[in-house]
Amino acid sequence: MATIKDVAKRAGVSPSTASRAMHDSPLISEETKDKVRQAMKELDYSPNFAAQNLANQTSNTIGVILPAREEAVGDNPFFIQIIQGLASICNAHDQLVSVASGQTTEELIKNIETMIKRGNITRFVFVYSQANDPVLEFIKQHSKIHYVVIGSPYTDKETTCYVDNDNFKAGYDATKFLLAKGATRIVYAHTDLSEKVQNARYKGYLAALSEVNITESPLCLSTERDDEIKNSKALGQMLSKTGGKVGVVACDDILAIEIQHLCDICEIEQSELALLGFNNSLLAKTAQPALTSVEIFPRFLGSEAAALAINTKGNDKLKLETDHIVVPHKIVERASTKI
Amino acid sequence: MATIKDVAKRAGVSPSTASRAMHDSPLISEETKDKVRQAMKELDYSPNFAAQNLANQTSNTIGVILPAREEAVGDNPFFIQIIQGLASICNAHDQLVSVASGQTTEELIKNIETMIKRGNITRFVFVYSQANDPVLEFIKQHSKIHYVVIGSPYTDKETTCYVDNDNFKAGYDATKFLLAKGATRIVYAHTDLSEKVQNARYKGYLAALSEVNITESPLCLSTERDDEIKNSKALGQMLSKTGGKVGVVACDDILAIEIQHLCDICEIEQSELALLGFNNSLLAKTAQPALTSVEIFPRFLGSEAAALAINTKGNDKLKLETDHIVVPHKIVERASTKI
């Protein structure tokens, strides 16, 4: 029976590259994928028998930790795609994916404790990253537990294994995209700049603007319906400034949709704006006009995190081949940026 | 250590009612929940030690099967809430929740096979129900595997264990709601009446209309952007018919949002319509005007399915206390139905 190493050898790539190519990761070029597919075919390789190639495990299960607050999960369509990516890679490597959930932080920690004690689970993936997370603190107390974070860690970044998008680069690319569309003023709209993702996208936006010597104040809005009047006023003021085609980089699709609504309220023609969001969620597709948005490939965030977790070697502390993986992004162009 | 049976006895309810009350199920009255909470307090009961009360298991893991087509999952925000509900109940009963996923049907079946063979998993929950599902056929071949379906089974409904909303009743209630709002004509908008959920909601709508002797043809639309002109025409024709305040029951939130867009295109004032969707998704909250929608409690679909799966007794074929659970729905009123 051929192993993943055999496939990698025949294709002339590393085993991790072979694994990524098999799962159609955007990190791998089409050329390399073709080589790997060819090698798989020649060796009659079936990914489901790859288990023997993995390092020895203390358990054949990867624990996946969802955030405790249920609203946080319910409103985020990415978690399921992340879990799909995780499950797809884990299943293919004979690993089970076990989900830890709880309505409160205490319940979640209790459940994780049970998974560790009764399930002998030693490897976990956090599908989120938040500041001052008691769940992460709990996991850190266990010296034999390995964990991978999806998102940018708030603490111990140097020693933490994580998978993330390059949100700085995403903000930069989004801004450059609107400049290329002919926008002469570009505003960054956000809800909270202390939030890591929004902040990184903002920094990238600033970097792109500084290259063309444009300055602009960020526009702070809220997504609460009750703040509609305050929001409209802020948007109106921003747009009333003289001159030029205006581009808006919104920190995510939800805020971009809110800006579309505010335009309707203020009777601002949407064709006067070039509006762009992030995450390429269902909201972007159903928006009117359909919203240009930055795809962040949540499924691949999940599959890369799974690969990191699976490749953790036994009980040795984080002997990983790579400890930080960046999943690329892609601007999906729709009607909202046609100015 | 108190068991769930002790709590149930002290509260004067059955163990399954006690379990539901502990997880805040909408099936249980507030009064009963209070009784159970009181009993838990008096007995110092901690749900995490309830494992000893469960029937003997062949494995302490429940397998959760996601649909194979990844788009189907990515666009449905409920799956994650269903998984949360499942995980919450299973975790509390010392059961692991293991997710099966695959990019293709073949991959998914292979992964489930591995879970059965290597993980000794004998209990599965399908988080979806679709016609002619090869995955369900595969599971049915295994006499020792028990499964619970979330949604209405397409075949063997009498002998299948399932958890569902009452979509007939939901369609009926939605229609009655619009009648009470003063609508004198009510149209049912759908994309495909051969789809079970859409069809059941339609039947409920028809039942409500027949009570008041109103008849109306269903409005078939598509959610493809390319069909915008065809859709607008159909909507315009429907609304051009003489008379009265018009209510629209859309088969789900996505179609309701599309109808809002079509109104904009046709320059139909949204205040002239009372529009209602189903699922109470993020789309309903961010719509403009915000959309009245029927909440279907996906988290409780998950937790009830978990309870059914956990209560399956060993290898005996489906000795369940109940084999069909209906999770209630609730109309969440927003601006779109103010006529």
Q: Report yes or no: A303 and A25 within 8 Å, Cβ to Cβ.
A: yes
Q: Could you tell me the pLDDT band of residue B158, with boundaries at 50, 70 and 90?
A: confident
> What span, in angstroms and rounded, lies between the C-alpha atoms of B162 and A241?
59
Contact criterion met (CB < 8 Å) for B91 and A114: yes
Common-topology check for domains B1-53 and B167-296+331-337: no
Please tell me the predicted confidence (pLDDT) of residue A72: 61
More confident residue, B75 or A288: A288
Cα gap A45→B195, rounded to integer Å: 39
Fold assignment, A1-53: 434 Repressor (Amino-terminal Domain) (1.10.260)
Instruction: For A21-72, write each residue's pLDDT tens digit.
Output: 877 777 788 899 899 888 888 887 755 333 333 334 456 889 999 998 765 6
pLDDT at B241: 73
Of A98, A103, A261, the CB nearest to B97: A98
The beta-carbon neighbor of A87 closest among B100, B110, B258 is B100
pLDDT for position A46: 57
Percent of all residues in chain B with a pLDDT value above 70, rounded to a whole number = 89
pLDDT (0 to 100) of residue A73: 59
**Nearest CA-CA distance, residue B215 and chain A, Å:** 31
Contact at CB, B80 and A97, closer than 8 angstroms: no
A173 CB neighbour count, 10 Å cutoff: 17
Q: Is A110's pLDDT higher than 80?
A: yes
Does residue A314 register a pLDDT over 70? no
Q: For residue B165, give Cα distances in angstroms to A10, B255, B275, B295.
A: 53, 19, 21, 10
The CATH superfamily label for domain A167-297+331-337 reads Response regulator (3.40.50.2300)
- Sort out which chain A residues have CB atoms less than 8 A from B61's CB and list them: 96, 98
Q: How far apart are CA B144 and CA A156, in angstroms?
A: 47
Q: Judge residue B317's burial from the number of C-beta atoms within 10 Å of its C-beta, 0-12 exposed, 13-18 middle, 19 or more buried.
A: exposed
* Residue from A135, A108, A115, A96 nearest B95 by CA: A115
pLDDT of residue A75: 57
Q: Which residues pair with B161 in a beta bridge?
A: B148
pLDDT digits (tens, 9 = 90+) for B27-43: 788 899 899 888 888 88
What the block records as the tokens of B172 is 């009926």
Q: Is the Cβ pair A119, B100 closer than 8 Å?
A: no
**B198 against A26, higher pLDDT:** B198
Determine the average pLDDT of the residues in A166-193: 95
- Highest CATH level, class, for A55-164+298-328: alpha beta
| Half-sphere exposure of residue B304: CA atoms within 13 angstroms, side-chain side | 26
- Residue B205, pLDDT > 80, answer yes
Q: Is the pLDDT of residue A291 over 90?
A: yes
Residue A55, Cβ density class (10 Å: 0-12 exposed, 13-18 middle, ≥19 buried): exposed
CB distance B284 to B253 below 8 Å? yes
Distance from CA of B283 to the nearest CA of A (A): 7
Name the more confident of A195 and A178. A178
| pLDDT over 80 at B316, yes or no | no
Cβ contacts (< 8 Å) between A107 and chain B: which residues? 88, 91-92
Q: What are the chain A neighbours of B75 within 8 Å (beta carbons)?
A: 77, 282
CATH architecture, domain B167-296+331-337: 3-Layer(aba) Sandwich (3.40)
Nearest beta carbon to residue A299 from set B70, B88, B99: B70
Across chain A, mean pLDDT equals 85
- Of B40 and A319, more confident: B40
Percent of chain A's residues with pLDDT above 70:
88
Element (H, E) at B30: helix B30-43
- Which of A128-142, A185-199, B201-215, B240-254 bottoms out in mean pLDDT, i.e. has the lowest? B240-254
Better pLDDT: A25 or A236: A236
Q: Scanning every residue of chain A, which has its alpha carbon at the shortest distance from the alpha carbon of B85?
A: A101
Query: Is CATH 3.40.50.720 the classification given to domain B54-165+298-328?
Result: no
DSSP letter (8 states) at residue A46: -
pLDDT tens readout for residues A213-223: 988 889 999 87
In this model, does residue A125 exceed pLDDT 70? Answer: yes
Domain locations along chain A: 1-53, 55-164+298-328, 167-297+331-337
Would you state the pLDDT for residue B272? 83
CB contact under 8 A, A87 and B74: no
Calculate how close chain A gets to B90, using CA atoms only, in Å. 9
